[in-house]
Amino acid sequence: MAISSQEVLDSDVSHSDWKRFQIAYFSMEIAVAPDIPTYSGGLGVLAGDTLRSAADTALPLIAVTLVHRKGYFRQHLTADGVQTEEDQPWNPEAMLQPLAPVAAITIQGHPVMVRAWRKDIVGVDGHIVPVIFLDTDLDTNDAWDRELTDHLYGGDTFYRLCQETVLGMGGVAILTALGCQPIVYHMNEGHASLLTIGLLEEQVNGGNLLDATAADLDAVRSHCVFTTHTPVPAGHDRFSFDQARQVLGDERTQALEKFGCCHDGMLNMTYVALRFSRYINGVAMQHGRVSSEMFPEYNVHAITNGVHAATWIQPAMQILLDEKVPSWRRDNLYLRFAIGIAPNEIRSRHSEAKRQLISTVAERTGVSLHEDRFILAFARRAAAYKRADMLFSDPTRLARLAEECGGIQIVYAGKAHPHDDLGKDIIHHVIEASAQLNSDWLRIVYLENYEWELGAILTGGADLWLNTPRRPYEASGTSGMKAAMNGVPSLSTLDGWWIEGCIEGATGWAIAECDDETQEAESLYEKLENEILPLYYHYPDKWAEIMRMSMAINGSFFNTHRMLYQYVTNAYFPGDAPLRRKFQPELVLTR
Ligand SMILES: *Cc1c(COP(=O)(O)O)cnc(C)c1O
C-alpha cells in the first residue's frame, strides 16, 4: 500500500523534503511535550532532549516512536502510601498532523497496517526535527492489532514484542514510504533493534533472510548505531523463541538465531542491536566500561548523556542567562560563562524557583514549606536499586540532625512501574516513615505523579538534589544534570554521571563508596550534618559559589548540545569530513 511521494507531499503541511533527513532516531518513548504522555521517565526525556538539541543545532534528523494512545500511567497514592494507576488517554488527532502513507508489516503471520502522525520540534533558529508517531489504530486492523500502540510498557512480553515489531519494522517501512533515505539509524535502547531486520529485508529485496550474505549484513551494519542504557543483564529485553516465532514468524526467527542475536536460549534485543551496529555506546564513562565487560566481543564506547538546557532551566534563571550569556540557547557550552555572573544574582533567581516549588507543594498537599529552610529533593522512578529509603535507615539520627542543623524539608516524588512490587513497597515505606517523622524541624512530603513539569519544578527549586543508586546500576541518570544547570548541587553515590560530575565541595558531594549499605547511609548523614547543612545555614556566600560552579562547570558539559556533537563526531559520521561538511552550510544558512 505504498503511496506515491506526490501524495505524501500534498498531505504534508510544511512540504518538507523527506530526503534531507540523514539521521533516523528510533526510541520506544519520547518526551515530546509536557501534555503528550508518550514517555515513562529518563529514557524518554533523554530522547526528547536529544531532539530539542538536534533542532537547535540544525541536524538533519528525524525521529520515530509509537503513539501510545493510553500513555504510560497516572499515579495516585493513598494516604498510607499505596500506589494505584490510571490510563492517560490523549488525543493525537487534535495534537499531531496526519501523514498519508500506510505501511503493512507482518505480525503473527498476517498483515498489520501502520499509519503515522507527525509533530515538529522547532529549534532556536527555526530548524525542524519531525517526530513520527506510529499508530496501528486503523479500522482495517483487528481489535488486538489496533491496541498495539496503546500502552507504553504495558501488557506482557508478547505485547511488548509486537510493539517492538511495530516500532522497528513499521518505522523502517514508514520512512521508506515517505521517501526518507537516512544514512544513519540510531537505536535508542534495544526496543528499537528490529529496525535492523526491516533494513535487512529491504537489503535482500524480497529474498529469503536466511540467504543474506556477509555483504548484506555489512550493508545494514554500515547504517546502524546503538546506544545501550542498561548496566545489568536482567534489564535487557528478552523473548522466548516460541514467542519470537509466533510474532515474527519462522524465517525471521531463524535468521535472528543464525546471525547471533540470541543469548542463553532467548531472543535478546540487545544482541540484535549489537550484532547489527557499526557503533555502540553506553551513556556515561563508567557505563561504557561496564557494558564492555558485559559484551566482551563488542567494542562499546561511551558518550555521556546530557539534558536540554532551555527545557530544564527555570524561567527566572533563563532571564538572568539571557542577560548575561545570551548565546547559551544556541550553544549550551556557553553556560561555562555563568562563572562570570555574581553568585548573589544566581541565588536570588534560584529563590524564585524555590518559591514556585513551595507553592506547588502547598497546592498539592496543603503543607507549607519555609523559604529560608533547606529543601532536599529526591525524585525518580521508584526502582529498588535507587534506594529511595536510604534517608530513613536511621530515623532517629535523621530527626536529630534536622533539629540540630536548623531544619530539613524533604520533597519526594516517583512512580513505580505497575508490575514492580519492590518499587511500590519502597514508596509505601517512605510515606509511612514520613508520617512518623514529621516535626517542626523535619518536614517530609511525597508528591504524586512525577512527570515532566513536576520534574522541572523540583530540579529547579530544591537546594540539594539527592541520589542514592546502588553501584553500578545507574547507567547515567539525568535529573541531577537538570539540577546542576539550575545551580542546585547534588549529593549522590558515585555512580553514573556523578563519577564525572562530582568535584567534592565544589559541584556537590559524594556519598562514600562502602560495601555495606549501613555505612553508606552513615556517610550520607555525615555529609549532611558536617558539611552541607552548616554551609547552607552559616556560609550563604560559599553556598552561592557552589551553586554557580554547578551551573558553570556541570551545566556546560552535561547538556544534549555537547552530547549530540559527540554523537555526530564519533558515532554518526566518524572521520567523514565530507559528510560533516554537509552540515555546515545548513548551520550557517539557518542563522
Ligand atoms: C529527568 C527525568 C527522569 C530521569 O531522571 P533520573 O535522574 O535518570 O532518574 C525521570 N523522570 C522525569 C519525569 C524526568 O524529568
Query: What whole-number distance in Å separates Cα of residue 321 and Cα of residue 318?
Result: 5
Q: What's the chain's average pLDDT? A: 94
pLDDT tens readout for residues 355-375: 999 999 999 999 999 999 999
Q: How far apart are CA 531 and CA 537, in angstroms?
A: 10
Residue type present at position 6: Q
Taking the centre of ligand 1 as the mean of its atom positions, its distance from the CA of residue 307, in whole angstroms, is: 10
133 Cα: distance to centroid of ligand 1 (angstroms):
22
The finding on whether 310 has its CB within 6 A of some atom of ligand 1 is: no
Q: How far apart are CA 126 and CA 512, in angstroms?
A: 46
Q: Provide mean pLDDT across the span 47-66.
A: 97
Helix (H) or strand (E) run with residue 442 in it: strand 442-447
C-alpha cell at 486: 539550575
Q: For residue 581, is pLDDT > 60?
A: no
What is the reported pLDDT for 583?
Answer: 54
Pairwise pLDDT comparison (420 vs 586), residue with the higher score? 420
| pLDDT beyond 60 at 7 | no
Q: Structural domain boundaries of the chain? A: 20-302, 309-557
Would you say residue 13 has pLDDT above 70? no
pLDDT at 515: 85
What is the percent of the chain with per-residue pLDDT over 90, rounded to a whole number? 93
Answer whether residue 14 shows pLDDT above 70: no
Ligand 1: which atom is nearest the Cα of residue 307?
1
Buried b (16+ CB within 10 A) or exposed e, 155-187: eeeebbbbbbbbbbbbbbbbbbbbebebbbbbb
CATH architecture of 309-557: 3-Layer(aba) Sandwich (3.40)
- Atom index in ligand 1 nearest the CA of residue 456 equals 15
pLDDT at 4 exceeding the cut of 90: no
**Ligand 1 contacts CB of residue 314 (under 6 A):** no
Q: Is 36 in the pocket of ligand 1 (CB under 6 A)?
A: no
Q: What DSSP element (H or E) covers 188?
A: strand 184-188
Atom of ligand 1 nearest to the CA of 479: 7
Model confidence pLDDT, tens digit, residues 457-487: 999 999 999 999 999 999 999 999 999 999 9
Instruction: State the DSSP H helix or E strand holding residue 9, giving kind and residue range, or none if neither.
Output: helix 5-11
Taking residues 249-269, what's their average pLDDT? 96
Q: Are 558 and 481 in contact (CB under 8 A)?
A: yes
- Give me the pLDDT at residue 579, please: 56
Please say if the pLDDT value at position 563 is more than 70: yes
| 479 CB near ligand 1 (under 6 Å) | yes
The CATH classification number of 20-302 equals: 3.40.50.2000
Confidence band for 9, pLDDT divided at 50, 70 and 90: very low
pLDDT at site 234:
78
* pLDDT of 586 higher than 60: no
> From the CB of 380, is ligand 1 less than 6 Å away?
yes
* 83 ligand 1 Cβ < 6 A: no
Which CA distances in Å does 161 have to 107, 198, 227, 241?
10, 15, 19, 11
- Give the model's confidence band at 582: pLDDT under 50 very low, under 70 low, under 90 confident, else very high: low
Query: What is the rounded average pLDDT of the residues 131-155?
Result: 97
Q: Whose Cα sits closest to atom 13 in ligand 1?
A: 451
328 alpha carbon to ligand 1 midpoint, in Å?
Answer: 23
Read off the pLDDT of residues 79-127 as tens digits, 9 standing for 90 and up.
999 999 999 999 999 999 999 999 999 999 999 999 999 999 999 999 9
* Grid cell in block for residue 1: 500500500
Ligand 1 close to Cβ of residue 555 (< 6 A): no
| CB distance 452 to ligand 1 below 6 Å | yes
Predicted local confidence at residue 550, as pLDDT: 98
Model confidence at 386: pLDDT above 50: yes
pTM above 0.75, yes or no: yes
pLDDT in tens, 325-354: 999 999 999 999 999 999 999 999 999 999
45 lines ligand 1 (CB under 6 A): yes
* Residue to mutate (ligand 1; options 308, 314, 449, 479; most atoms within 8 A of CB): 479
Interval 301-317: pLDDT, tens: 999 999 999 999 999 99
Tell whether ligand 1 has an atom less than 6 A from the beta carbon of residue 73.
no
Please check the confidence at residue 10 and state whether its pLDDT lies above 50.
no
Contact 470, 462 (CB under 8 A): no
Cα(206) to centroid(ligand 1), Å: 43
Name which residue sits closest to atom 9 of ligand 1, judged by CA: 380
What number is the average pLDDT over the span 507-514?
A: 96
Cβ–ligand 1 distance for 477 under 6 Å, the answer: yes
Give the model's pLDDT for residue 511: 97
Specify the ligand 1 atom closest to the Cα of 312. 15
Say if 20-302 and 309-557 have the same CATH topology.
yes
The count of residues in the chain is 591
User: What is the per-residue pLDDT for 575?
Assistant: 75
The mean pLDDT value for 10-25 works out to 74
- Average pLDDT value for residue range 522-533: 97
Edge-to-edge strand order for the sheet containing 266-268? 238-240, 266-268, 262-263
Ligand 1 site, residue 48, Cβ cutoff 6 A? no
Q: What is the pLDDT of residue 588?
A: 38
